[in-house]
Amino acid sequence: MILRLCRRAVGEVRICVTGASLTRFLNACAEGGIMLRQMERTAWNCMEAAVSLGDFRRLPSCMGRTGCRVRIVERRGLPFVLARLLPRTALLCGLALFCALVCLVGTRVWEIRTDISPSLDRDAVMEKLGELGVGIGTPLRAIDTPSIRRQMMIWDPEISFFALNLRGNSLTVTAHAGAQPPETANDTELVSIVAKRDGVIASVEALRGAAMVSAGDAVRKGDVLIDGCVLPTREGGKAHFVRSDGRVYAYTRRSVQTVRPLERTEKRFSGKTKTRYGLCIEFRRKHYFLGKRISGGDCEKTVERRVWQLSESVRFPVSLEVQTYRYYEPEPCTRTAEDERTEMLRLALGRAAADMEDGEILSYDAQTQEKNGAAVLTLSLHVKEQIGAAVNDRELR
């Protein structure tokens, strides 16, 4: 099998030899060192055999006066395939270009992904890596991972783990910072929990300190809920100061108001679209667009980037950017407050929920009215929420 492949690589021809003295031809070939294979006698004066391309070229000089005629029956092998393809310049150029592209894609870094802790400065890490010679287009062999890891950890002592993972032509930079020491609270400091809103107490969970309120009590903003000054529980004892801790839930009322104009401009799409294609060369951060610029009229632009890749981790450094422009006409429209109610209510409830630290909306009442060409939604909420906030005693007194 391997021998056959080698023979096909150098090329071979099957010849037909015709003549009365075939034995003289065979003797001449043997003397000339020409190897005849797959010999087949087809007639008394005719035989076929396979010879390599090199032996076939030497054949005329060895034949001498044998009186035989040699005719090629079949050509096999790579040299003949290439000879057939030679006039197809574009095909050969394309093949060469593809080989060069595959070589280029497979031997350099064309994508860098990052997994860097938020406490580290990503831009600074990437800039330092660039100084160390790691970037888009860097040859894969030139990346000395242990050395780079060592230098990065020396450069920023906050980095506790650093790794460069190569997969195909994609490089993943992983940098994790060491865990920050937990913030220690000064237990001897006098801190009390006070109410940050008016309300009626629902429950008190005093983990440290003396609870000053109980369920059902009405409190105002600023009232002490859990006091840091704990009174003695026995006769002759002394009061001691602690850092209060706990959670106090109360029923509160909240009010949210949202306003939205009733007259506004809406987009009426005309159905006309234009598409623009661009090649994005990532390592040069340049875009090359085909065709004319899009100009004139109001339009909505959608950008889609198509990445070309051989596999999940081997991608080409060039991507196709498709920009789609949808033209529209701005059309003024007038809506009523009722039309806007649902959307405004959704937004107001979302805003109220986001404003609460820890709590739930028990019920709400929404009033919508039109005022000065705008819809005004007033939302009253009944909420059960945590109202305790830690305050230093110095701020309190």
Partner 1 sequence: MAFEELREEARGPQVELLGRHLATLEHHCGLIEYDSTVLRAKAHGCEVRITGENLALTALTLDELALEGEIHAVEFVSGGEETG
Contacting positions for partner 1 (CB under 8 A): 22-23, 26-27, 29-31, 33, 35-37, 39-41, 44
Closer residue to partner 1, CB minimum distance, 27 or 336: 27
Would you say 68 or 164 has its CB closer to partner 1? 68
What pairs with residue 273 in β-bridges?
326
Q: Which is nearer to partner 1, 6 or 96 (CB)?
A: 6
- Minimum Å gap between C-beta 76 and partner 1 is 19
Q: How far apart are CA 259 and CA 110, in angstroms?
A: 50
State in angstroms the smallest separation of the CB of 71 from partner 1. Answer: 19
Q: At closest approach, how far in Å is the CB of 7 from partner 1?
A: 15
The CB-of-70 to partner 1 minimum distance in angstroms stands at 16
* Residue nearer to partner 1 on the CB measure, 34 or 116: 34
| Comparison of 50 and 175: residue with beta carbon closer to partner 1 | 50
CB 338 within 8 A of CB 295: no
Please state, in angstroms and rounded to a whole number, the distance separating the CA atoms of residues 288 and 324.
Answer: 16
Residue 298 zone, left/alpha/beta (φ > 0; ψ -120 to 50; rest): beta
179 CB-near residues (< 8 Å, 6+ apart): none
C-beta of 78: minimal distance to partner 1 in Å? 25
Start-end of H helices in the chain: 2-10, 22-32, 53-63, 78-85, 89-107, 122-131, 145-155, 337-355, 393-396
Q: Name which of 29 and 201 has its Cβ closer to partner 1.
A: 29
User: What is the C-alpha separation between 305 and 263, in angstroms, rounded?
Assistant: 37
CA distance 59 to 28: 9
Separation CA 397–CA 391 (nearest Å): 10
Nearest approach in angstroms of CB 31 to partner 1 is 6
